[in-house]
Amino acid sequence: MTVNVSERPRAVHGGERPVRSRDPGWRIVAEQECRDLWVSGRGPVLVFAFSVLLSVMTYLAGTNQVLNFLEQREAVNLTLQVAVAVGVLVTLVVSADAISGERERGTLESLLLTPVSRRAIVMGKLVAALSLWLATFLVSVPYVWVLGRGVSIVGPAILLGLLVGTLLAVALSALGLLISALSSSNKVSLAVCFFLLLALFAPTQLPGGGPKGWFGDMLVRLNPVGAALRYLTAVVVNGHDWTRDLSYLVSPLVTAVLAGGALVIAGSRIVRLHGGVSGE
């Protein structure tokens, strides 16, 4: 059901915030979702857990750097990759719960009754999920600076991590929302997203980077997570120019475009009180 936002003001999520007639629908949903995410405590808890993990990784990287096991560029790259990978992970988890979780908690029906289109609902939820990625990345900036201070790589590495991580976060958040909308239950949604993460992240942790040669390189390029992390390594550690290895970003970009496009096109049909695609 799509209701024009110029109709009589109603509230998003049970009367918490009136919908103003001139507000874009996605912004209304995004504001409410961000409020629920950060005020309810889920966002701060996830960010705190992320900061603890990053503190441990930074300590280990700094110790190895002192012991000459890691060069400074490698220490910065390791911390940056952990920041991007884990930040995207928590973003996907929030996306996986965004629709199927509301459906099970009984709050999706009241959201669907607000004068906001279903397409605006998924876009607002996507923006809210990305706010968690931005928060985790901001937390990681001091860690990268501490490990890389004194070398010129810190500024470019932070900017590169923000751009590549945001592209990856958009891609996986959109995938998470699609899975959440189409899943029959929240458990199914979270389980599918967990196995998706396992399939995407496991190859990046194989000894020696996995298979070698053209076949191994093709597998890396087809994996949006592996390709994004390989691009970061090429620039931060190997000192390549930003434009030299842009082909590694094709997979994350295609994933973001396809998943985001599917949300925009099918948004009015997949946000339903029951999982699946509406035939109406």
Residue 229 domain-assigned (yes or no): no
Domain extent, residue 179, equals 11-191+260-270
Assigned domain for 69 exists? yes
Give a yes or no: residue 227 inside a domain.
Answer: no
- Give the model's pLDDT for residue 274: 73
User: Which tens digit of pLDDT belongs to each residue from 268-280?
Assistant: 787 777 765 554 4
Count of Cβ atoms closer than 10 Å to residue 213 Cβ = 7
What pLDDT, in 10s, does the model give residues 28-43?
888 888 988 898 778 8
Does residue 62 have a pLDDT over 90?
A: no
Residues 272, 218: Cα–Cα separation, whole Å? 38
Q: Which residues contact 91 (CB under 8 A, 6 or more apart)?
A: 129, 130, 132, 133, 136, 169, 172, 173, 176
Among candidate residues 190, 238, 199, 192, the one with its CA nearest the CA of residue 222: 199
For the cut 90, the answer to whether the pLDDT of residue 198 exceeds it is no
Position 66 scores a pLDDT of: 58
Share of the chain above pLDDT 90, in %: 31
Q: Of 269, 184, 177, which is closest to residue 277 (Cα–Cα)?
A: 269
Asked if residue 158 is part of any domain, the answer here is yes
How many separate domains does the chain show?
1
The proportion of the chain whose per-residue pLDDT surpasses 70, expressed as a percent, equals: 84
* Token pair recorded at residue 75: 């220490």
Whether residue 209 has pLDDT greater than 80: no
| CA pair distance 37, 91, nearest whole angstrom | 11
Structural domain contains residue 173:
yes
Q: Which helix (H) or strand (E) holds 171?
A: helix 154-182
In a domain, 222, yes or no: no
**Interval 10-35 mean pLDDT:** 64
> What is the pLDDT averaged over residues 76-92?
89
